[in-house]
């Protein structure tokens, strides 16, 4: 049995090594691209390079086609909760809910029809065909939300890791004499190379305050769009300082220290989880090959010796 598992385990080992090599190359490419942008920029970027995508930007042709299917799910189109969830994933277009609902309908149709055709081709019974088709429809209904959740977690982690550095820069700008609006705009520009998501959110806050929204409501919208606990705590500190007239620089400095402590603790927690995560590849992908390499010569000699004794 072990002999048959060796090719499978070897393939899994090679696949894991290829995935790790790919991740290293992608991260190295991202770092090189960021350094190249810094060197080529040479300083302050022009104002027009910081334009944000507006909420009423026109959808591409395929997006408009998919949005027509969204009217089959009117509850999704007019859902405020879905609007904030899509904003947390980075989709702030006014028609994003229509596209999401249309994507759900499209996935349901594709997976349901594909499952039914496959079941008919392999001559399954009507009960099995109906059950598998319903299962495909259910999977198609939840598949777009799984994609949105994945984008949310990735974006929230990016914002969480970049927030302490951005907050330090915000403290420096405020203590240098800049107003909060100008400091947010400056930090949004400077953090674009480190975190594009955080840069967009900070500049959105500044644009909302320019449009006439109160600072408190703009900061609360910032917390709702990100869905990050650290951002909620930061917004609460800024609103409290603005309401009671206390020094916002001192409050931000104290909060920045707490965020750096949390980031260090999160890194320590991740490092302590590494030995547990290495158990599976060590036991199932490395140890069997080592046992075969170490014990195979001795086992072959033993088999030959026993076969000669039998003869």
pLDDT in tens, 279-292: 888 877 777 777 77
Kindly report the pTM of this predicted structure. 0.68
Please report the beta strands in the chain, taking only residues with DSSP state E, as ranges in sequence order.
none
Task: Tell me how crowded residue 87 is: count the other CB atoms within 10 A of its CB.
Answer: 21
Q: Is 92 helix (H, G, I), strand (E, B) or coil?
A: coil
Token pair 């449009």 is found at 211
User: Are 287 and 10 a contacting pair, CB within 8 Å?
Assistant: no
Q: Smallest Cα–Cα separation from 104: which of 151, 67, 141, 68? A: 141
DSSP state of 93: -
The span from the CA of 309 to the CA of 253, in Å, is: 82
Q: What does the pLDDT look like over 17-58, one tens digit per residue?
A: 666 666 665 555 555 665 565 555 544 444 433 445 556 566
Sign of CA dihedral 102, 104, 107, 113: negative
Q: What does the pLDDT look like over 134-184, one tens digit per residue?
A: 998 898 889 889 999 999 999 988 888 888 888 888 888 888 888 878 888
Close Cβ partners of 76 (under 8 Å, ≥ 6 residues apart): 70, 82, 97, 100, 101, 104
The span from the CA of 281 to the CA of 81, in Å, is: 40
Close Cβ partners of 159 (under 8 Å, ≥ 6 residues apart): 195, 197, 198, 201, 226, 228, 231
Q: Is 227 helix (H, G, I), strand (E, B) or coil?
A: coil
């Amino acid at each position: 049995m072990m002999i048959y598992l060796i090719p499978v385990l070897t393939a899994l080992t090679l696949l894991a090594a290829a995935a790790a090599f790919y991740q290293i190359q992608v991260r190295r490419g991202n770092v090189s691209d960021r350094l190249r942008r810094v060197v080529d920029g040479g300083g302050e970027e022009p104002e027009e390079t910081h334009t944000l995508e507006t909420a009423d930007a026109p959808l591409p042709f395929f997006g408009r086609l998919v949005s027509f299917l969204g009217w089959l799910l009117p509850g999704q189109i007019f859902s405020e909760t879905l609007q904030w969830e899509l904003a947390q994933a980075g989709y702030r277009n006014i028609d994003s809910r229509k596209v999401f609902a249309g994507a759900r309908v499209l996935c349901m149709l594709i997976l349901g029809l594909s499952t039914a055709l496959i079941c008919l081709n392999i001559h399954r019974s009507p009960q099995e065909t109906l059950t598998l088709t319903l299962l495909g429809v259910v999977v198609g209904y939840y598949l777009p939300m799984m994609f949105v959740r994945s984008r949310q977690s990735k974006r929230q982690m990016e914002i969480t890791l970049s927030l302490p550095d951005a907050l330090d820069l915000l403290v420096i700008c405020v203590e240098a004499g800049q107003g909060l609006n100008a400091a947010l705009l400056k930090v949004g520009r400077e953090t674009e190379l480190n975190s594009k998501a955080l840069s967009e959110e900070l500049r959105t806050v500044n644009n909302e305050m320019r449009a006439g929204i109160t600072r408190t409501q703009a900061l609360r919208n910032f917390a709702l769009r990100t869905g990050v606990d650290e951002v909620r705590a930061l917004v609460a500190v800024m609103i409290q300082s603005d309401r009671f007239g206390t020094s916002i620089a001192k409050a931000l400095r104290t909060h920045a220290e707490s965020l750096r402590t949390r980031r260090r603790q999160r890194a320590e927690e991740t490092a302590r989880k590494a030995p547990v995560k290495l158990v599976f590849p060590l036991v199932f992908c490395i140890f069997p090959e080592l046992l075969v390499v170490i014990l195979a010569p001795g086992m072959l000699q033993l088999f030959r010796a026993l076969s000669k004794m039998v003869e």
